[in-house]
Structure 1
Amino acid sequence: MRPSRLTRQLLATTLPAALIIGAGVAVADPMLARNMSSYGLPGGVDTPTAETLPDGSLGATVSLSEYARRGNVFFQALPGLTTVLRYGRVDGIQDFRQEGFISDRSADLRYQVVDEDGWRPAVAVGLQDFLGTGVYSGEYVVATRNVTPTVRASLGLGWGVLAGRPRVINSGDQGGTPNVDQWFSGGARPFGSVSWQVNDRLNLVAEYSNDIYRARYSDGSEFQQGSEPSSRLNFGANYHVGRNYEVGVYTIGGDTVGAQLTIALNPRDAAFPSGLERAPAPVRPRPAPAQDPEGWSGAWSQDPTAQPAIQRALSDAMAAEGQVLESMVLTATRAEVRLRNQRFINQPQAIGRTARLMTRALPASVETFVITSTSDGMPTSSVTLRRSDIERLENTEAGRIAAASTLTDASANVAGLVQTPDAYPRFRWSLKPYVEIGIFDAEDGVTHEAGAEARASYEIMPGLIATGALRQRAFGDIGQRGPGIPGQRGQYFSPEEYESRPELETTPEGVPRVRSDTRMYTGNFSPVIPEATLAWYAKPSDAVYTRVTVGLLERAYGGVSAEALWKPATSPLGFGAEINRVRKRDFDQLLDFRDYEVTTGHVSAYYEFRQGFTAQLDVGQYLAGDVGATVTVAREFANGWRVGAYATKTDLSAEEFGEGSFDKGVTLSIPLGWATGQPSRDRVSTNIRSLSRDGGSRVNVNGQLYDRVRGAHTVDLYEGWGRFWR
């Protein structure tokens, strides 16, 4: 029987309500998964459970069977919230290519509303394929409970494919929009599973599933994904290899065999948890006044040679720690140093090591230490400490020295500040390989390109930085091609035709091709210039930062970009504004430009929550002239891992935007030091998006102010304060 409209509305709001409640309530010791399902979620073979993963877990599951080849990327965004992005080849379904399969993208959300407690089971609510074409569309409520220490049972109620009632897929739908009107509709059926933990590595599972692996379209066509299972029972065996890997085999209906591999990483579980960096120099307690009367009296401060000698000694000691002493002001009782952190991903670790070195370099009368962090020549925050507290608390927990410190906005102009000799100008360069990988493309699958990149920067003076890069492709299968031919899916304009016909640089709907011709910038076997800029960073007041960047801003656009940010060091809230006047670069990525020119701009609001969460809202005009907003939510862990998701909606209609309906994606940034154990500020970052469309596109300008300053501000600084004594 179809649920009433009220019932469906209540069920549809269960998950959002649980997210709101759960964001403020910590879930202690959640029921953790024993194995992953073929959909990349804790579960049986195909059915879900109410289990979760360790908080922050990130990984991928690849599953192969007659019915589908699924690649799933999962992230445990909150202790109870599991998210999945999926790219799958679904056999037995035809599309415009008539190849007997389709390539499908989808996304899942699951929230564990309550955990197991006594006789109460863990309960979760989930949305499956709520942003895709709807091939896997279904919703569920499921409960899981430990029957014995080794046996765990789950029972749920499912809709859509989980009830064996696949949704009717709109043949003309562009995809990418939530199918809210279908949630918890169409009739429900029960499903269930039982798992047995044989030992600490092997887990066996049996399940009852309703999935008939069929797809129905609004044009009346119906496709069977392989042969319909002869039984509702599925069985699987999963084996854990080491800490991060799981291999499994399973049967569907007793007559189809599948296999899967899972790789799971956790930011809290690094290969080298303590790091491999050299231990810091110990704090040097001051001698008694009777043993050093001159040092305690402060008379040394009258000697004009004292500060240069002390500054040089401290600068050399900091350089050995990978830090730069940019400038310093010194009196008989107070010292302020301006620190450029070049080595540690956590700013408190650089501050703590600098504080130790100051106890070794400064005369005994200096009691107040002010350590000012800088970024691109801009002072971002000041931490004030008493030397006696550093001496007293060295061997205690970091929280005590945090309580004894004071964080304030750093002043741009400080009287008596002396720049360290040879700190500027400064030249840096690197030569290293690069790799670009494209995934989640429905037509190309996984693509790659590799080569070498030379990069250099020249810091002329504090805040004035010239940057450039030169890249040479070596090999890859990402070739140059024009955008798709309207009305002919899978067919593309040739590069020569696209360049010779300027009218093609606008879609039939009248939208300028600002990103849908991205492949025209690939496949160059001659050297290219990805970036060549001159940037000026400044701090006109204690809480205001500015940036102006000119040049070749990214591989597709050059011009002028200006930005201002208001962000007090002690506030979780910040506001910014950015304006860009850019012109489209020629496809050879050298010095020539094309005719398209546009002004873009946004006003932005930032807010930092606890547990490393950051929310950002950008409102303004995008590259194609469309107007709208972007919402970004990201989580950063104490060791530097960052995982985020964003969505952009503008005044372009779904038809004008094209497949996907609106822009969305996931960002991932992992510090190299997490994997190598060596201290480094370098990162491996990627933006996972299924499509490159024109709507909601922005200029990719390096040096965004918020990213430059937030590491030394309240929330981010104190999240990593545990490394102060490291």
Structure 2
Amino acid sequence: MHRRFRPLLLTSTALLTASVSALGVASPTQGQTLNSYGMPGAIDTPTAVAPPEGELSATVSYSDYATRTTISFQPVPRLTGALRYSKIDGLDPNRDTLSDRSFDVQFQLLNETQGWQPSVAIGLRDFMGTGVYSGEYLVATKTVTPRLRVSGGLGWGRLAGQWRRTDYNDEGGDFNVGDWFSGDVKPFASVEWQASDSLSVLAEYSYDDYDPEVDDPSKERPDGKFNLGVNYRIGDTYQIGAYTIGGNVFGIKGSVALNARKSAYPSGLEPAPAPVRPRPAPNADPDGWSGAWSADPTAQPAIQTALGDALSGEGQVLESMALSANRAEVRIRNNRYSQQAEAIGRTARLMTRALPPSVETFVITSMEKGVPTSSVVLRRSDIERLENTASAHIAQQAQIIDADPRVAGLVYSPGIYPKFTWNLRPYASLGLWDPDEPWRYEAGLQASATYEIRPGLILSGTVRQRAFGSLDQKGPGDLTPDEYEALGTDIDPDTGIPRVRSDSRMYTGNTSPTVPELTLAWYAKPTETTYTRVTAGLLERAFGGVSAEVLWKPVNSRLALGAEINRVRKRDFRDAFSFRDYEVTSGHLSAYYDFGNGIWGQVDVGKYLAGDKGATLALNREFENGWRVGAWATKTDMSAEDFGEGSFDKGVSISIPVTWAIGTPTKRRVGGQIRSIARDGGVRLRVKDRLYETVRESHTSNLYDGWGKFWR
């Protein structure tokens, strides 16, 4: 093995093993091969083979030409997207190594049929960035025999051997629409032969002559246009491969795939719920059926205590209850189940066991931050009749309505307010794909506490103590902390732009304890369809002040509208309770729309932390098991030159429910955001628990998406 390959192979294997260990067992990729760009393909060329819906893949490839790390995702059946980070030596005159971020997208136009029709796809490679790999293609793929697959297509840009020469003094990050499908067009082709169930042999014909990379005199030009390779599958999770470009340049690659729609524990590992208890015959309990019990003042406290204890065993809190002879409303806080429908279903079962037989109408109201978000109305007779049928049947009988913020007769459970909770756990922070330092990390211990003073009024805070890491304190432009502090300003002297994120490393590397956030928040629901939030204090690591928000969101509406305004001041780099001079008022008008099938979008228009004005567009896909993947882009009146490298803010987000990986129910999630590059333009305040994401979990669309767990 080439001596340069060995450390990469060891690192890649460790990375992929850690990924799978952390997230669970992946789904098989069904004979699909990922190329060196981390997209469906052979070696360098693409194929028209769409990954399974919901598949998330990570690919690392290495050759003398470049190291590429790619994350690709299949949010819907026909669309594949990818974010790539590449390191190319000797190409950027401003750096020894070009650290390039690029985006790909491929759309499946046709799916293969058993007859003559091949699958057909159209794609854009590196369509937004510096354009080092820029190219477009139209490709068709046909399975000739169960073990032989052939592909052919037409390529532009790099796929036609035409490098669209990059200006590295330019900021990059634009869509470069004028270049798409322009210039020479050349054919490409590939063949994949499945030699065994695990081993594939690959051959392709490609016009990419690696012009940018061979500008470095130490690099060899490919000897020809034929590339050869092998790809080996290890179980249903890994792919590893080796290849040659032109016969004289060698490379290796490795991939791991996870599928958001498939878990190692599809049914979960939670204990079975208590069964529904049918009511006795009227002649067996005449007092219970008559409702006479409701006149006894001791009846509700006893019932509420018994039901509260039972719900506590299910990881839920019975906040309050209103009870009459034939109707009961319970207001629950779900602390355990990732799907709110499962919490509601288990509550309904327990209500049949705790309530007298005269109570026919059950109203189960979900609570978030002390505020009622939705009510599910069920008839007890339907619950008894449909317990052993498909969950769709009870869904047809249920009503989901806007929760009334003021219900007469609500009685709070004893000890609910005020309430203090705390936890102590490790934390880890990871910074990815910075042009000068691609991997940065920090780990330590974090203590968090929450004091719920009354419904909707919450005091919370977090203290962190760093243990180790490479996220060291550093000013922009490689300034030392002392040099940056000596400038005495948060304004970039060259552009006049306030530094609201580009100096974020000044907040890291503290050896003494830090206070990332300390806030007092008030949540309220003035009307059945309107929610409000006011948060004051240390809102995030870099800013403190006041944030106020209002949201209009009817429970059955796909559309939601919101507004937010913030008055904040920049926090000191070291002293947790001191501030710097920079102050700003920012705010946005927001529109949210649920398109169905787990896809929802968001548009924010307003003023950002650096004072620039513009809009953010975000699209998200949420699967029934809680996986969320999204992408966003922000464009403001800040020029590309003032913004700097990347031209405008953009990135992707991933959020994975921990229960998907471990099987046991929990509301905890892991994930984060990956930006193409962190700059000061288009930056919003990182205030936690914004209203839309707080209330949407228990509104109609999300409830129905998870309704399959109602009887779990």
Normalised to the residue count of structure 2, the TM-score between the two structures is 0.94
Q: Which residue of 1 aligns with 2:414?
A: 421
CA positional deviation for 1:576: 0.3
Instruction: Kindly state the Cα deviation for residue 442 of structure 1 after the two structures are TM-superposed.
Output: 1.4
Cα displacement (A) at 1:609: 1.2
Partner of 2:57: 59
Q: Which residue of 2 aligns with 1:363?
A: 356
- Residue 639 of structure 1 is matched in structure 2 by 625
- 1:520 paired with 2:511, answer no
Deviations 1:600-634 (A, max 9, x none): 01000000111100100000000011100000101
Q: CA deviation at 1:337?
A: 0.3
1:212 corresponds in structure 2 to: 209
- Aligned mates of 1:377, 1:643 — CA distance in 2: 28
Instruction: Give 1:170's aligned amino acid.
Output: D
Confirm or deny that 1:106 pairs with 2:105: no
2:164 aligned residue? 167
Shift of 1:171: 3.6
Q: Does the alignment pair 1:473 with 2:459?
A: no
CA shift in 2, pair 1:513/1:364, >3 Å? same
1:567 aligns with 2:553: yes
Task: Map Cα deviations across residues 382-423 of structure 1 (whole Å, 9 max, x no partner).
Answer: 000000000111111111100000010000000001111111
Partner residue, 1:23: none
Deviation at 1:170, TM superposition (A): 2.4
Cα deviation, residue 685, structure 1: 2.1
The answer to whether the 8 Å contact 1:33/1:43 transfers is no
Superposed, which structure 2 residues align to 1:70-219 within 5 Å?
70-97=68-95, 99=96, 101-117=97-113, 118-215=115-212
The yes-or-no answer on 1:303 pairing with 2:296 is yes
> Match for 2:645: what amino acid?
E
* Deviation for aligned residue 1:281: 0.5
Which residue number corresponds to residue 342 of structure 1?
Answer: 335
Per-residue CA deviation, residues 566-606 of structure 1 (Å, 9 max, x unaligned), is: 00001010000000000000001510000001100100000
Equivalent pair of 1:439/1:690 in contact (CA under 8 Å):
no
CA separation in 2, counterparts of 1:39 and 1:589? Answer: 45
- What does 1:215-614 correspond to in 2, within 5 Å? 215=212, 222-223=215-216, 226-484=219-477, 492-503=478-489, 505-588=491-574, 590-614=576-600
Q: 2:649 touches 2:676 (CA, 8 Å); kept in 1?
A: no
Q: 1:92 to 1:498 in 2, by over 3 A?
A: closer
- Runs of 4+ that moved beyond 3 A: 221-225
1:200 is displaced (CA, Å) by 2.7
Give 3-state SS (helix, strand or coil) of 2:382's partner: helix
- For residue 224 of structure 1, report the CA deviation from its aligned partner: 6.5
Give the deviation of 1:428 after TM superposition. 1.3
Contact 2:570 2:579 survives alignment (8 Å): yes
The answer (yes or no) to whether the contact 1:38–1:63 under 8 Å persists in 2 is yes
What is the SS of the residue equivalent to 1:147? strand
Q: Which sits farther off after the overlay, 235-244 or 309-318?
A: 235-244
8 Å contact kept, 2:586–2:608: yes
Residue 179 of structure 1, CA deviation: 1.0
Match of 2:693 in 1: 707
SS state at 1:472 partner: strand
Give the RMSD, CA atoms, in angstroms.
Answer: 1.3
Q: Report Cα offsets for 1:502-531 as digits up to 9, x if no partner.
A: 246334121111111111111111110000
Q: Shift of residue 225 of structure 1?
A: 8.3
One-letter code of the match for 1:135? Answer: V
Letter of the 2:574 counterpart? D
SS in 2 for 1:349: helix
Contact 2:138 2:154 in 1 (8 A): yes
- Rounded to whole Å, the distance in 2 between the matches of 1:680 and 1:378 is 21
**1:613-652 equivalent positions in 2, closer than 5 A:** 613-652=599-638
**Displacement of 1:429:** 1.0
Supply the distance in 2 between the matched residues of 1:33 and 1:718 (Cα, whole angstroms).
33
Give the secondary structure class of the aligned counterpart of 1:290. Answer: helix
Residue-by-residue CA offset, 1:224-268 (whole Å, 9 max, x unaligned): 682111121112211222222111111211222211110111011
Any idea what SS the aligned residue of 2:219 has?
coil
Say whether the 8 Å CA contact 1:379–1:411 is kept in structure 2: yes
1:49 aligns with 2:42: no
**Cα distance between partner residues in 2 of 1:610 and 1:235:** 43
Taking the aligned partners of 1:76 and 1:134, their CA distance within structure 2 comes to 23
Paired residue total:
683
User: Alignment partner of 2:282: what SS?
Assistant: coil
Q: CA deviation at 1:92?
A: 4.1
CA drift at 1:222? 4.7
* Correspondent of 1:662 among 645, 648, 652: 648
Residues 213 and 226 of structure 1 are in contact (CA less than 8 Å); yes or no, is this contact kept in structure 2?
no
1:214, distance to aligned residue in structure 2 (A): 1.2
> Which structure 2 residue ranges, 5 or more long, are not aligned?
1-28
Q: Once the 2 structures are TM-superposed, how far is the Cα of residue 201 of structure 1 from its aligned partner?
A: 2.0
36, 39, 42: which one pairs with 1:38? 36
8 A contact 1:91–1:226 mirrored in 2: no
Which residue matches 1:679?
665
Q: Distance in 1 between matches of 2:592 and 2:194?
A: 45
**CA distance in 2 between partners of 1:644 and 1:322 (Å):** 30
Give 2:17's aligned residue. Answer: none
CA contact (8 A) 1:468 1:533 kept: yes
The amino acid of 2:196's aligned partner reads N
Deviation at 1:431, TM superposition (A): 0.9
Q: Secondary structure at the match of 1:214?
A: coil
SS of match in other structure, 1:441: coil
* 8 Å CA contact retained: 2:565, 2:588: yes
Contact 1:521 1:589 in 2 (8 A): no
Runs of 5+ consecutive residues of structure 1 not aligned to the other structure: 1-30, 485-491
Q: Find the aligned partners of 1:196 and 1:292 in 2 and give their Cα distance.
A: 73
TM-score (norm 1): 0.93
Counterpart secondary structure, 1:317? helix
CA distance in structure 1 between the partners assigned to 2:575 and 2:663 by the alignment: 37
Q: Percent identity?
A: 60
**C-alpha distance in 2, partners of 1:180/1:223?**
28
SS of equivalent residue, structure 1 residue 399 = helix
In structure 2, what is the equivalent of residue 69 of structure 1?
67
Report the Cα distance in structure 1 between the residues aligned to 2:386 and 2:47, rounded to whole angstroms.
48
